Amino acid sequence: MTRATCLAASAIAGKASGNRASASLWISNIRRKADGYHIVNERSAIKMTGQSSLFAQEIEEVETVLTRQKQIEWSKIALIAKRLRAKNPTHAITIARGSSDHAALFIGLLINRLGGLAVASLTPSFATLYHGTLRANNSVAIAVSQSGQSPDLLTLLDMAKRSGASSLAILNEPNTPLDSIADDVISIHAAPERAVAATKSVIASLSAGLKLTAEWFEDHALAEALDDIHQMVSTALVSQEKCEEIANFSQCYVIGRGMTLPIAMEAALKLKETCIIHAEAFSSAEIHASSALMPPIKGKHLIRFLRL
């Protein structure tokens, strides 16, 4: 398990490093003006203002965020994990949207892998659009949210709780409505996130989820690997040459499998959000069908995440 669990921690560090390096080379920013939106290349923005974007600045904060989370929150996470062991739920539900949903999917896969629990991602439309009913006895519902204020997530977590589930929220912002609903709350300590494209909050959510599952299922190898996670983030850098190689591509296909598929999905989302290019994530187990979208044309690039 040691190799796999170290790779799990490295997946977070690798995500951070890829964003960090690319931010200084080819990330684009959408700037608001009175007559609408226009796109400014990162290099141009630095030249005009003398500063990097909020996106790049917040990537630089990741190591500090993880250090702060470890110092302040990890002892609390261990206590929450101990309570989960005592409750011994037979299945888990994850509740999230956007980038937080990618973090939630990763956490759910880790719970499934380490604990053998059946895990399902419950979409908010189940409650808000279809007004469904839920049977959630002997389960734990885990909501992941940067803001803790999304009405659809509040509705769904409240439904799960009223249906018999224990409830846990992984949040960045304290004293929010989601905080008041959940039985237990884990703060990721990412501090305010001002960039539209979430970075440090996603990585901090992954870190908190890894720590929770390591303690919950008493995976000592994973717990040991996580001790150095903040240092992994600071040292895992993509070379400038590699970033320059892919800087001018207009399409990108990001491939993952198992626990790396949510990471691939997040990477593709970030490419769409910040670089304004066509980016798609696929499972390597199903690439035989998706490869039809990948003709041998100029301006295409492939990123592959190792299977954990």
Is the distance from CB of 137 to CB of 164 less than 8 angstroms? Answer: yes
d(C-alpha 75, C-alpha 181), whole Å = 22
* Greatest distance between any 2 Cα atoms in the chain: 57
pLDDT in tens, the chain (308 residues): 333 333 333 344 333 333 333 332 223 333 333 333 334 444 444 443 445 688 888 888 999 999 999 999 999 999 999 999 999 999 999 999 999 999 999 999 999 999 999 999 999 899 888 988 899 999 999 999 999 999 999 999 999 999 999 999 999 988 899 999 999 999 999 999 998 899 999 999 999 999 999 999 999 999 999 999 888 887 765 656 666 766 677 888 888 999 999 999 999 999 898 888 888 899 988 877 666 666 665 555 666 665 55
Phi, psi of 257 (to 5 degrees): -155, 145
The CATH class that applies to domain 248-308 reads alpha beta
d(C-alpha 95, C-alpha 127), whole Å = 11
Q: What is the pLDDT of residue 256?
A: 92
Q: What is the pLDDT of residue 66?
A: 95
Strand ranges (DSSP E) for 62-157? 91-95, 118-121, 139-145
d(C-alpha 18, C-alpha 59), whole Å = 10
Is the distance from CB of 112 to CB of 118 less than 8 angstroms? Answer: yes
Q: What is the pLDDT of residue 150?
A: 92
Q: 2-247 and 248-308: same fold?
A: yes
d(C-alpha 306, C-alpha 258), whole Å = 10
- What pLDDT, in 10s, does the model give residues 259-289? 999 999 999 999 898 888 888 899 988 877 6
Domain extents for the chain? 2-247, 248-308
- What pLDDT, in 10s, does the model give residues 179-198? 999 999 999 999 999 988 99
pTM of the model: 0.81
The CATH class that applies to domain 2-247 reads alpha beta
Strand ranges (DSSP E) for the chain? 28-33, 36-41, 91-95, 118-121, 139-145, 166-171, 184-187, 251-256, 278-283, 300-304
Three-class SS of residue 140? strand
